[in-house]
Amino acid sequence: MSEQKQAPQHVVVVGAGMAGVQTAVALREQGFTGTVTLIGAEPHQPYDRPPLSKAVLLGKAEGSAFDIDFEALDVELRLGVEVTGLRADAHEVDTEAGPVPYDVLVLATGANPVTLPGSEGVPGVHLLRTLDDAVRLGPVLERRHDIVVVGAGWIGAEFATAARQAGCAVTVVEAADRPLAGALPDDVAGPMADWYAESGAELVTGARVARVAPGEVVLDDGRTLPADAVVVGIGARPATRWLDGSGIALGADGSVTADDRLRTSLPDVYAVGDCASFPSARYGERLLVHHWDNALQGPRTVAAGIADGPAAPPYDPVPYFWSEQFGRFVQYAGHHAHADAEVWRGGPDDASWSVLWLREGVPVALLAVGRPRDLAQGRKLIEAGTPVDPERAADPAVPLKAAAR
């Protein structure tokens, strides 16, 4: 007679961002009655990040703490605690405050922003990832400083938007020849360069920063840009350095390589959110998704694997994110890397437009600019794998759901 596995009594979640918090909540929702400990490196009450580049940055909100009663959920918070290592053989997480034992461990440490080489310690250089970052940048916007933003990705565009709203002079420096070069195809991202000029921001493409000094940024072609402040938005990397030597398998990108149930290479250890990649059967490759929706959805799979309940299906979402920039609401669902056709609904000169990517006639991704109905209907088509008629899909007057074959 096989020995029945004992139910875990203590789940430790490392990381108190969206993924970690939602894991704790989902455990309780799925009936887990054991001890849940949530460890966060920041001293603040757990908070949501999207408002940091919007309301919090512009002083329209003091914070974005989650509206969650952790005491009522019987979730123990240990905040302001840095994790330093994992000893899986002892089932313990090492922290600056001492070891924390666990029966099951959930890694939800998120990602760290990439810093600009040579800028460490230079006065006036900022990142925008944490609540403290947003609080420090608030007065910079209030004083209407000359600001240089390094990186024309999603966070760079959102910060540039807020800085222009505050009345700052903004120059955005991008190494590629267009904004969002790593995220979208040339013909889609290229027209977005016009958004910067429309807002009054200057976009400098094909340029790299040679050095940053107090009050200025020097480009590799010798140009000097005045900069009372520099905001760096050149990407993020999974926050997994603390796992060195732990035995946890990591990918070349630094992510924890979880399986389709978000289990890691070690027993009793899961990984979720920005720090974890997962195999997508839908897209035929391993995905690393640094977006809010992934941190919201993944915890349900983790909690189902831990709690003594019905097994959840494999984790294989249609990735989704949104961005508010230069007066536009931009949404994206799916993954277009292996598409073989691109269908425009309207054009980049229109007030609103969408792009649908197909593979063998089936939608795999959609970008919507000011067309939330397209996004909602397109996302359902992607999730269901429903083929569409490309000619009907190309007519922006035809609802996307009506283009289904």
Measure the CA–CA gap between 40 and 21, rounded to whole angstroms: 10
Choice among 86-95, 105-114, 300-309 with the minimum mean pLDDT: 300-309
Question: Which residue matches tokens 């909690």?
Answer: 303
Q: What are phi and psi of 251, to 5 degrees?
A: -85, 175
User: Is residue 74 predicted with pLDDT exceeding 50?
Assistant: yes
Question: What per-residue confidence (pLDDT) applies to 1?
Answer: 34
CATH top class, domain 10-112+236-306: alpha beta
Helices (H) and strands (E) in the chain, counts: 8, 26
User: Is residue 144 predicted with pLDDT exceeding 90?
Assistant: no
Beta strands (DSSP E) in 128-182 are 146-150, 169-174
User: Is residue 221 predicted with pLDDT exceeding 60?
Assistant: yes
Please report which confidence band the pLDDT of residue 80 belongs to, taking 50, 70 and 90 as the band edges.
very high
The pTM assigned to this predicted structure is 0.94
Kindly report, as residue ranges, where domains of CATH 3.50.50.60 are found in the chain: 10-112+236-306, 115-232
For the record, the structure tokens of 318 come out as: 């249609």
Q: Which residues of 315-334 are buried (b: 16+ CB within 10 A; e: fewer)?
A: bebbbbbbbebbebebbbbb
Confirm if 34 and 308 have CB atoms less than 8 A apart: no
Mean pLDDT to the nearest integer, 30-48: 96
Measure the CA–CA gap between 275 and 267, rounded to whole angstroms: 18
User: Is residue 61 predicted with pLDDT exceeding 80?
Assistant: no
Kindly report, as residue ranges, where domains of CATH 3.30.390.30 are found in the chain: 327-403
Mean pLDDT to the nearest integer, 296-316: 88
Q: Residue 26 is inside which H or E element, if any? A: helix 18-29
Q: Counting Cβ atoms within 10 Å, is residue 4 exposed (0-12), middle (13-18) or buried (19+)?
A: exposed
Superfamily the domain 115-232 falls into? FAD/NAD(P)-binding domain (3.50.50.60)
Question: What per-residue confidence (pLDDT) applies to 2?
Answer: 38
Mean pLDDT to the nearest integer, 64-84: 96
Instruction: Reduce the DSSP state of residue 197 to 3 states and report it.
Output: helix
Confirm if 331 and 372 have CB atoms less than 8 A apart: yes
Any idea of the CA torsion for 236, 242, 244, 246, to the nearest 10 degrees?
-130
* CATH fold group of domain 327-403: Enolase-like; domain 1 (3.30.390)
Give per-residue pLDDT as tens, 344-356: 999 999 999 999 9
